[in-house]
Structure 1
């Protein structure tokens, strides 16, 4: 299995999984279909579906491009209402099958309805995808790969507010809608990532409020697991 990063920021989020037989699963519709083709090497005939976390534009802006291309989308009821055709509203804890990919949505805390997803495939085991969430209610053990948010560091965010680079109200919203590096590490520990995980990819990292190299070293140091901060064009083999 190969993971390809199409985009991972407030400008647009998109990720693609490709199995050895060529089957593909798309994650998030915050990037153009053409970006998926150019960066993610999307082959529409091999796309088994797309999962979308929630209704904000950097995650779902281009849903209609994908449904118009014949790619079915699983997402929240709001995304279904806004797009209508080709979107299925998912339920927490129910498993959906997209080819050999089995996906199970989990409700998370954001400022709108939002889902994390457990993605299972025989080639890689279970991957957890979680973004735009300041809290996850479920502790899930046995996960082999994490695609998980580490948006900001508390000290850097505090300093940005003191320095006038970030307004206090924006900082408050960030804390109540996104996962900090500290919380990410605490959650990975609760899930016993050090015992089962083989890769950790940190996503939706803020360019202003996170030291990306520090984040990689901190997570790897606490878990003993190979860790990357997602950037466009990054490709990771998941085994």
Structure 2
């Protein structure tokens, strides 16, 4: 069984911890919070942390990477990402390649390409008993996945809210275009989820909601109605 804790899920910082009940191994999915905050959320205990997976180079996903590397933790990322954040010289950096599977502790991980304004990947993660899908900072996913138990997916904005804010003069059209071309909208998230076989899905977690261009209640209700699944909005940091 895989358990999930959200430490941060917004443009201010994204970081999640997953744990397998098989042997207690843990992974961090992105490390976009100050390292001291991650330490506190983990109660200063990294004994079971076997790796850190980084999706891309933006600071709200990789802020604590250097600190984690200095402590000797292996951090898995694209070569482009490592070079962009100036950590390619650290020997604990492990380069990953989209669609090439690798193992970390008790987890098997398949990275895959996503569509953002910089090189970016999502992860399909298995602990041998369950599968977890992690997708963030993309406007589209070209792949579908079978047998997934837990889905963690960005749901940043909705077209309806963006258009209304442009009409009201609160959002510039260029900014709206950038959001549409780099982040997952509610409408596209629903299309993506409906394209998948959700038979084994236990829960869907909506990540990285925009502070101004989203509505947590409406997003949760919309995804629940479209999928019939239990939906959690990871808008605030979880208390541990």
- Pairwise CA distance, 1:50: 0.6
Cα distance in 2 between the residues matched to 1:159 and 1:138:
31
Which residue of the partner structure matches residue 46 of structure 2? Answer: 44
Task: State whether structure 2 residue 217 is matched by structure 1 residue 216.
Answer: no
Cα distance in 2 between the residues matched to 1:6 and 1:186:
27
Which residue of the partner structure matches residue 175 of structure 2? Answer: 170
Contact persistence 1:54–1:112 (CA under 8 A) = yes
SS in 2 for 1:4: strand
Contact persistence 2:8–2:14 (CA under 8 A) = yes
Contact persistence 1:5–1:231 (CA under 8 A) = no
Change (3 A) 1:94 1:235: farther
Please, what TM-score do these two structures have when normalized by structure 2?
Answer: 0.92
Deviation string 1:99-147 (CA, Å, 9 cap, x unpaired) is 0011110001111110010011134x11100000011111112211101
Contact persistence 1:15–1:40 (CA under 8 A) = no
- Pairwise CA distance, 1:77: 1.5
- Pairwise CA distance, 1:79: 2.2
Which residue of the partner structure matches residue 19 of structure 2? Answer: 18
Deviation string 1:148-183 (CA, Å, 9 cap, x unpaired) is 011001010111112221211111000000010110
Please, what TM-score do these two structures have when normalized by structure 1?
Answer: 0.93
SS in 2 for 1:117: strand
- Pairwise CA distance, 1:184: 0.4
Which residue of the partner structure matches residue 4 of structure 1? Answer: 5
SS in 1 for 2:189: helix
Cα distance in 2 between the residues matched to 1:192 and 1:45:
36
Contact persistence 1:18–1:24 (CA under 8 A) = yes
Which residue of the partner structure matches residue 88 of structure 1? Answer: 94
* Unmatched tracts of structure 2, length 5 or more: none
Contact persistence 1:116–1:130 (CA under 8 A) = yes
Tell which deviates more after alignment, 164-173 or 175-184: 164-173
- Pairwise CA distance, 1:73: 0.8
Cα distance in 1 between the residues matched to 2:3 and 2:39:
15
The CA RMSD over aligned residues, in Å, is 1.6
Deviation string 1:48-90 (CA, Å, 9 cap, x unpaired) is 0010110111111221011111111111212222212122221
SS in 2 for 1:49: strand
* Unmatched tracts of structure 1, length 5 or more: none
Cα distance in 2 between the residues matched to 1:169 and 1:48:
41
Tell which deviates more after alignment, 131-140 or 37-46: 37-46
1:115-130 alignment, distance < 5 Å: 115-123=121-129, 125-130=130-135
Cα distance in 2 between the residues matched to 1:41 and 1:22:
16
